[in-house]
């Protein structure tokens, strides 16, 4: 009976230990992908189309012939992330090999938006594979 309890305790400890290790692994990836998003937003603010485009996943790049077309699309359809007054990260999740970040973005007009970014790995590097921007219900302060 004591052997069964000991084995159960060891298995439980190993499971918890591996979960803790995976959480640490995700935390590193969350920090890395957050930095990529911040870097792309800074490239938008600096109007550096080449740098902003470099953070995009291959599928995104296939939709645009060059960095200038990519920048034009972001400027015209994703203005809150193209030219934010401020932004803050709210949450991050790992799902089926991708990482998703949610940000609250405050536009230059003091409107509040929720931006959800998806990132995938391409040749060992995280790349932005999409961004959805939705207005939040309330105005920001």
CATH number where 82 lies? 3.10.450.50
User: Is 64 part of a structural domain of the chain?
Assistant: yes
Sequence length of the chain is 141
User: Is 90 part of a structural domain of the chain?
Assistant: yes
Residue (of 65, 84, 66) closest to 75 by Cα position = 84
Domain count along the chain: 1
Q: Report pLDDT digits (tens) over 71-109.
A: 999 999 999 999 999 999 999 999 999 999 999 999 999
Mean pLDDT of 8-13: 50
pTM over 0.95? The answer is no
Q: Is the pLDDT confidence value at 17 over 70?
A: no
Q: Is 115 helix (H, G, I), strand (E, B) or coil?
A: strand
Q: How many CA atoms lie within 13 A of 139 on its CB side?
A: 4
Kindly give the residue spans of alpha helices, DSSP state H, lying in the chain.
2-45, 49-54, 58-63, 67-77, 79-82
Q: Which residues pair with 33 in a beta bridge?
A: none
Choose the weakest-confidence range: 12-16, 51-55, 128-132.
12-16
Return the pLDDT at 4.
Answer: 53
d(CA 75, CA 1) in angstroms, rounded, equals 67
Mean pLDDT of 13-42: 74
**Under 8 Å between Cβ of 70 and 53:** yes
Tokens encoding 122: 């391409």
> 20, exposed or middle or buried, with CB in 10 Å at 0-12, 13-18, 19+?
exposed
Return the pLDDT at 14.
Answer: 46
Residue 65's domain comprises: 2-135
User: Is 63 part of a structural domain of the chain?
Assistant: yes
């Amino acid at each position: 009976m004591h052997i069964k309890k000991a084995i159960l305790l060891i298995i439980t400890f190993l499971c918890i230990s591996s979960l803790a290790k995976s959480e640490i692994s995700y935390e590193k990836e969350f920090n890395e992908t957050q930095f990529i998003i911040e870097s792309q937003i800074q490239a938008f603010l600096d109007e550096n189309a080449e740098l902003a485009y470099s953070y995009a996943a291959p599928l995104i790049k296939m939709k645009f012939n060059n960095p200038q077309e990519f920048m034009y699309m972001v400027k015209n359809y994703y203005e809150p992330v193209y030219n934010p007054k401020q932004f803050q990260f709210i949450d991050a999740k790992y799902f089926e090999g991708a990482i998703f970040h949610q940000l609250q973005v405050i536009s230059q007009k003091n409107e509040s938006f929720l931006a959800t970014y998806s990132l995938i790995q391409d040749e060992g590097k995280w790349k932005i594979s999409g961004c959805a921007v939705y207005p939040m219900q309330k105005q920001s302060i």
